[in-house]
């Protein structure tokens, strides 16, 4: 449950608005930004009901619902249509003929990934709506600045500069995980107690693409692979490009099988995709569970060794470091070949 602290009186004062904007512009974590934006909007409008609806990528008609005020309610058919429409917008959606229903897109890195659905006691005043619009505009600007410094310019994925901080935070969450967890949560949201995995993904024979078709085609391949990663992996997995044809993913799953299944879906998707000019392309992937005392270099090194084993085994494979370790195919000491910030 998100904590929602009262921020606005019935009529928002400049001081209260300034405090709201000061808090939003001080945050650098996207999830915290999204949570606080939702909290401020709820405190601003004081609705009868409010819930954050987060889309499940594998089933667009299904939504995860988090109640901020009032009891959680599964969205009906009309509301699901409104939620989907709101996801494609930058500005709030108000339903025609339904006073008091408002849908605020909560922007993530590349567009809205969740919607704040409000039940108001009527249509908001123009003054309240203008204040909310300005808060959303500042929030979008903050997200844009974060993206500029933390995104790979070609693919739009996160870059290595932002990796360490996220890794250490997720390693801390993994440290709180319960050992009795079973099965993989298909939605794979990040929560305190979730185990997490690091995967390294490498495009097979990428040098042949650059040499045979030129670097412009090579760049297009990288862009398309990044897009397939975003479409195939889950919304809350962190996707990074580390340079060249090498990608890194931080996944939230309770067991190795869940991480393997996600990476196998990606491998099959890439193998079956008709890349322009190149046509057929494959990837190799290696993954490892992140331990509580891991450094980024240690976890990356283990996953990198699993990728090397996949390459040695014929490419177009997903390999798990722990399984390789159990049969003596790799050593426990592993160091990555990547410089970390």
Whole-angstrom CA distances from 275 to 200, 217, 227 are 21, 10, 12
Quick count: other Cβ atoms within 10 Å of Cβ 233? 21
Any idea which residue has 């331990």 for tokens?
291
Contact 41/118 with Cβ under 8 angstroms?
yes
The three-point CA angle 17-18-20 to 5° equals 65
- Identify the bridge partners of residue 319 per DSSP, sorted by sequence position: 286
Contact 318/302 with Cβ under 8 angstroms?
no
**Residue 245 annotated in active site:** yes
Catalytic annotation, pick one of 79, 113, 150, 245: 245
Strands 283-289 and 318-320: parallel
CA distance 242 to 239: 10
Q: Which long-range contacts (CB under 8 A, 24 or more apart) does 175-180 make?
A: 175/292, 177/254
CA distance 207 to 116: 45
CA distance 207 to 214: 10
Token representation of residue 5? 């602290």
Quick count: other Cβ atoms within 10 Å of Cβ 147? 15
Helix axes 14-26, 30-45, angle to 10 degrees: 160
Catalytic residues: 245
């Amino acid at each position: 449950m998100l904590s929602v602290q009262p921020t606005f009186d019935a009529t928002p004062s400049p001081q209260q608005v300034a405090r709201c904007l000061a808090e939003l512009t001080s945050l650098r974590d996207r999830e915290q930004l999204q949570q606080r934006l939702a909290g401020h909007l709820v405190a601003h409008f004081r609705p009868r009901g409010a819930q954050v609806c987060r889309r499940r990528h594998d089933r667009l008609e299904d939504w995860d619902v988090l109640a901020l005020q009032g009891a959680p309610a599964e969205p009906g058919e009309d509301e699901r249509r409104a939620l989907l429409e709101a996801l494609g917008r930058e500005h709030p959606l108000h339903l025609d003929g339904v006073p008091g229903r408002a849908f605020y897109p909560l922007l993530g890195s590349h567009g809205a990934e969740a919607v704040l659905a409000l039940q108001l006691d009527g249509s908001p005043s123009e003054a309240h709506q203008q204040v909310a619009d300005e808060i959303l505009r500042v929030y979008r600007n903050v997200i844009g600045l974060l993206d500029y410094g933390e995104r790979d310019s070609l693919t739009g994925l996160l870059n290595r500069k932002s990796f360490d901080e996220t890794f250490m935070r997720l390693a801390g969450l993994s440290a709180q995980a319960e050992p009795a967890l079973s099965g993989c949560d298909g939605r794979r949201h990040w929560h305190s107690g979730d185990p997490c995995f690091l995967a390294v993904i490498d495009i097979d024979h990428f040098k042949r693409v650059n040499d045979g078709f030129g670097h412009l085609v090579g760049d297009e391949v990288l862009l398309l692979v990044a897009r397939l990663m975003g479409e195939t992996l889950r919304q809350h997995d962190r996707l990074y490009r580390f340079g060249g044809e090498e990608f890194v993913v931080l996944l939230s799953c309770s067991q190795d099988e869940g991480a393997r299944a996600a990476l196998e879906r990606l491998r099959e998707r890439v193998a079956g995709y008709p890349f322009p000019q190149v046509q057929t392309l494959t990837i190799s992937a290696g993954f490892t569970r992140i331990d509580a005392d891991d450094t980024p270099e240690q976890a990356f090194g283990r996953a990198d060794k699993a990728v090397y084993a996949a390459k040695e085994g014929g490419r177009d494979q997903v390999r798990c470091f722990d399984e390789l370790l159990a049969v003596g195919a790799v050593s426990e000491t592993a160091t990555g070949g990547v410089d970390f910030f």
